[in-house]
Amino acid sequence: MKKINTTRLSLVLLLFGLLLTVLVKGIGSIIESVNKDAPEESPSLDYHSENISYKTFGTSIPFNYSIHGIDVSKHQQNIDWKQVESMRVKGVKLSFAFIKASEGATRIDENFQKNWRAVGNTRLLRGAYHFFRPIKDPKIQAALFMRQVKLKKGDLPPVVDIENDNRQSTVRICQNLQKFMDIRMHSKSL
């Protein structure tokens, strides 16, 4: 069996997480409006930013990508996933959702299990993410995440979301992220 280069995998997952952040920027508010029964409206193109503006959902969706997705957490509250699955804007639809499972060393997202099951009942691909706190013990963070997430065939690879440095150096953040990834890589549950 070929040995996995965990440093390379960590970087790939980090870059994937950053890419997702760029892809879904501005889409967070889409979920808040998705439960409202607003009338259908025509989206407008904003050629300067290469986005499709969809006022009903309060967001812009980049139209120069072939795959679109969102990330959600407890902050979006109750989500009608069948409605999310059926949304279409100028032929653009959502293909995946990343759901926050845990944060730091002690916080589990209270809506994770409900959202995880509900997305599993749609055609959307699903993935889980951990909100990484650089100052917290990475081994404890990895264990928390693994307790929450049980991947099945077809689920997206897990993602780590790093949004702040907690006054840690880049080197320290990378070291702790590597420790997190090493724990995850040796787990049979993921």
pLDDT in tens, 120-174: 999 999 999 999 999 999 999 999 999 999 999 999 999 999 998 889 899 999 9
| pLDDT of residue 46 exceeding 90 | no
> Bridge-partner residues for 107, per DSSP?
103
- State the catalytic residue, choosing from 37, 40, 110, 163: 163
Tell me the mean pLDDT in the region 112-126: 96
Sequence length of the chain is 190
* CATH fold label, 6-28+67-185: TIM Barrel (3.20.20)
pLDDT over 50 (residue 110)? yes
Global model pTM greater than 0.85? no
User: Per residue in 137-150, pLDDT tens?
Assistant: 999 999 999 999 99
d(CA 19, CA 15): 6
Give CA torsion, residues 62, 67, 71, 72, to 10 deg.
Answer: 100
Active site residue 71: yes
* Highest averaged pLDDT of the listed ranges 7-11, 69-73, 75-79, 112-116: 112-116
What torsion, rounded to 10 degrees, do the Cα atoms 70, 76, 80, 86 define?
Answer: -30
pLDDT exceeds cutoff 70 at 187: no
Q: Give me the catalytic one of 71, 103, 155, 161.
A: 71
